[in-house]
A and B are shown apart, each in its own frame.
Chain A
């Protein structure tokens, strides 16, 4: 009855910190981060102006909405769902700010209302997915059209512009003064990233999110309220999308119904490239941030290199496909190798 590769007398312990660190450093997230750095180095050395502060500044401004929304989106995908309505909520929030501003509302109040709309939209998604029990893909395709539709319905093809400069500056001001690279609004992202990162990786709630994505049934048996968790996660994407909408409006000085049209795919791409498994239960915030930055870098690079700004789409597409195929191939190989040595755990179902 001997089994292979199992210590007999020593109590198993958690891996020492050094080993854990090493497995993280060799893990999926690290690869993306290294890739981001590599692309940066290559870009800086081959393309003129790539590393200039001004270029970096615009790179960051452009990628901020993706960065922001990717945070709650990560949690939604880790829990086993998806939210395709985020860009439409961004547009809706933008339109709300514009319309209210047109009617004389102070910006801060209009922004607050927009965030409220984000909560409502997220609650609608959450309700349909958890209480009614619909698949989130189908639901968010519907709300994607609904929110965008309301946005376009309110403003048509008009755009509201002329926002007060102090608010526009909030969105676009550079942190360290003119000519530097870091936009002030990045601080908002950093705060949010910290909040979401801590929430997902260091709290009981975060553990429950992973559990829900790995196996909803076991989670239920373990006393985790899966529907409640998912409900709140959808509110998360709703609110942050609305926030991104406020940012977008102020940054471009334009509230339009079609703001960020098609954007949801970029967010999903960032999340998936960042190593989050579409099946749920796996993935981390640092990887996603790197994934979004990678996309931002690629965009900036190609724009500078005078490659068509949207040819980057090919790269994102290929990147996306590669990022899901590689793990499959790898695990297929690994499975092949480990099946040789059965460590006593049998799975009679496999054949």
Chain B
């Protein structure tokens, strides 16, 4: 590694979306802390700084995994809710259940729900938007039907479990550590294993993936199983964190995971972005939510800020793409210049036959 490649590497790092989000986070935290030092300092401030985004980070990682394969999973929040309630019931009905078992079961439940999504999308080849819209409804319905008006309270849950929700290790909340571990594992798998890279390939150009002989359906399926499992895990943690679980757990999180991913640089058309970016996006979103009241902006404006950020993020991506295409068109012929970029839509058929001229 010579100096030039170092600086080149540095330059690419700067230009990455993840860096921008980190900068935004730092600026936000810095600014808010100036206004109110309690935001970051003191035992509560720091703990909440890291605790608040933890669940959304896990959901964002789940969502990003699916979006990378050029799909979307609208049902993650419902899976979370179902898993959270199931956790509560498990403890209520079997108070002596070991915590690790409940965690495993929660993840397994999520995996099962994700499998349904994955099977329907990869086998029936129907757009994931529609399928997961349907399963969102179905899973939420199941959770409401099961729970009725019931509420799980902290009293029903073992104290060691609820303690997990706010416990810290060396000042860092356990839940945050879990989120970081999840993030690290998934990021590793996506970046350093063949299956992970194939998922990017499938999202980047699925017809090329078919030509390469990649197992497209299997990879798409894998994405949904992964997102389901992670949402299941998030559900268990939700129960630990909030200790009150009703049938509406997670109801407002539907599109936050998508928003977090998009803000974090995961392209909605697939093939690009990282789960780290998605997690950072989640961190930013959750922190904004926490910061707004401190900054004197009614917390009620949070969603408007989120909306603006999403739009800003995708417009920015588009402008960058357009500028790149223009630059390439003038310098030499290339695929970027030639393609209109509009055929990579969310509703595009999963596999297109390769384009060939009539003989």
Residues of A within 8 A of B96 (CB): none
* 17 A-B residue pairings within 8 Å (CB atoms): A80-B347, A142-B259, A145-B255, A145-B259, A147-B307, A149-B301, A153-B300, A153-B303, A157-B300, A265-B137, A278-B129, A279-B349, A280-B347, A308-B148, A310-B144, A321-B138, A329-B124
List A contacts of B306 (CB < 8 A). 145-146, 149
Task: Tell yes or no: A139 within 8 A of B by CB.
Answer: yes
A310's contact among B130, B131, B141, B259, by CB below 8 Å, is which? Answer: B141
Closest to B255 in A: A141
* B139-155 contacts to A (CB < 8 Å): 139-142, 144-145, 148
Residues of B within 8 A of A (CB): 72, 120, 124-127, 129-131, 133-142, 144-145, 148, 247, 251-252, 254-255, 258-259, 262, 268-269, 298, 300-308, 310-311, 314-315, 318, 341-342, 345-347, 349, 353-354, 356, 358-359
Which residue of A has the minimal Cβ distance to B72?
A137
A156 touching B298 by the CB < 8 A rule? yes
Contact A324 B129 (CB under 8 A): no
> Is the CB–CB distance between B145 and A278 below 8 Å?
no
A128 contacts B311, C-beta separation under 8 Å: yes
Contact B304 A269 (CB under 8 A): no
Q: B142, B259, B304: which contacts A314 (Cβ < 8 A)? A: B142
User: Which residues from chain A contact B251 at a C-beta distance below 8 Å?
Assistant: 262
Residue in B139, B258, B347, B356 whose Cβ sees the most chain A Cβ within 10 Å? B347
The answer to whether A313 and B310 have CB atoms under 8 Å apart is no
The answer to whether residues A325 and B141 also contact, given A138-B268, A145-B307 and a CB cut-off of 8 A, is no
Structural contact, A317 and B138, CB atoms closer than 8 A: yes
Q: B126, A325: Cβ atoms under 8 Å?
A: yes
Contact between B134 and A318, CB atoms less than 8 A apart: yes
Q: If the complex has contacts A142-B314, A349-B354, are A310 and B140 also in contact, measured as CB distance less than 8 A?
A: yes
Measured between C-beta atoms, what is the minimum distance from A178 to chain B in Å?
33
The SS class assigned to the A binding surface is helix
Q: Which residues of A contact B130 (CB under 8 A)?
A: 272, 278, 320-321, 324
Return the chain B residue nearest A145 by Cβ.
B307
**Are B133's CB and A349's CB within 8 A?**
no
Q: Evaluate whether A145 and B304 lie within 8 angstroms (CB atoms) in the complex, with A262-B254, A325-B124, A328-B124 already known.
A: yes
Contacts of B259 on A, CB cut-off 8 Å?
Answer: 141-142, 145
Residues of A within 8 A of B144 (CB): 308, 310-311, 313
Residues of B within 8 A of A181 (CB): none
Given known A146-B307, A148-B303, contact A137–B120 (CB-CB < 8 A) = no
Residues of B within 8 A of A6 (CB): none
A311-334 residues with Cβ-Cβ distance < 8 A to B are 311-321, 324-325, 328-329
Closest Cβ neighbor of A148 among chain B residues? B303
**Contacting pair B359 A314 (CB below 8 A):** no
**Which 8 A-B pairs have CB atoms at the shortest separation, nearest pair first?**
A149-B304, A146-B307, A317-B138, A313-B141, A149-B303, A145-B307, A314-B141, A317-B137
Taken residue by residue from 121 to 165, chain A's Cβ proximity to chain B (1 for < 8 Å, 0 otherwise) reads as 000000010001111011101111111111011011100000000
Nearest chain B residue, comparing its CB with the CB of A137 = B346
Closest Cβ of chain A to B86, distance in Å, is: 16
Q: Which of B124, B305, B353 is within 8 Å of A349, CB to CB?
A: B353
Do the beta carbons of B140 and A135 come within 8 Å of each other? no
Q: Verify A132–B318 contact, CB threshold 8 A.
A: yes
> Once the chains bind, are A317 and B139 in contact (CB under 8 Å)?
yes
Interface status of A166 (Cβ within 8 A of chain B): no
Interfacial chain A residues near B131, Cβ < 8 Å: 321, 324
Determine whether A238 belongs to the interface, using a CB cutoff of 8 Å to chain B.
Answer: no
Q: Is A223 on the interface with B (CB-CB < 8 A)?
A: no
Query: Is the CB of A350 closer than 8 A to any CB of chain B?
Result: yes
Q: Which residues of A contact B262 (CB under 8 A)?
A: 138, 141-142
Which residues from B are CB-within-8-Å of A147?
307
Known: A148-B307, A150-B304, A310-B144. A135 touches B346 (CB 8 A): yes
CA A133 – CA B343 in complex, angstroms? 11
- Min CB distance, B359 to chain A, in Å? 6
List chain A residues, Cβ under 8 A from B347.
80, 82, 137, 278-280
In the complex, which residues of chain B have a beta carbon less than 8 angstroms from the beta carbon of A349? 353-354, 356
Q: Is A257 an interface residue (CB 8 A)?
A: yes
Tell me whether A317 and B120 are in contact (CB under 8 A).
Answer: no
Closest B residue to A124 by CB, please name it.
Answer: B311
Quick check: B141 and A321 within 8 Å, CB to CB?
Answer: no
Q: A135-B269, A313-B144 are in contact. List 5 more A-B contacts (CB 8 A).
A: A134-B315, A134-B318, A138-B310, A262-B251, A279-B347
Report Cα–Cα, A312/B138, bound state, in Å.
9
Q: Identify the closest chain B residue to A320 (Cβ).
A: B134
**CB-contact partner of B304 in A146, A316, A325, under 8 A:** A146
Query: Which residue of the partner chain, among A138, A156, A278, A348, contacts B314 with CB atoms under 8 Å?
Result: A138
How many Å from the CB of B270 to the closest CB on chain A?
A: 11
Complex interface residues of chain A between 272 and 286 (CB less than 8 A to chain B)? 272, 278-280
CB distance from B49 to the nearest CB of A (A): 23
Given contacts A149-B301, A149-B307, A314-B141, contact A321 B120 (CB under 8 A): yes
A39 to chain B, nearest CB (A): 17
Q: Which residues of B contact A313 (CB under 8 A)?
A: 137-138, 140-141, 144
Q: Are A314 and B137 in contact (CB under 8 A)?
A: yes
* Residues A269 and B310 in contact, CB atoms below 8 Å apart: no
Specify which chain A residues have a CB less than 8 angstroms from the CB of B133 in the assembled complex.
265, 268-269, 272, 317, 320
In the complex the two chains form, what is the Cα distance from A38 to B341 in whole Å?
A: 46
Contact between A156 and B300, CB atoms less than 8 A apart? yes
Interface string of A256-272 (1 = CB under 8 A from B): 01000110010011001
Q: How many whole Å from A255's CB to the nearest CB in chain B?
A: 14
CB within 8 A of A328: which of B125, B300, B356? Answer: B125
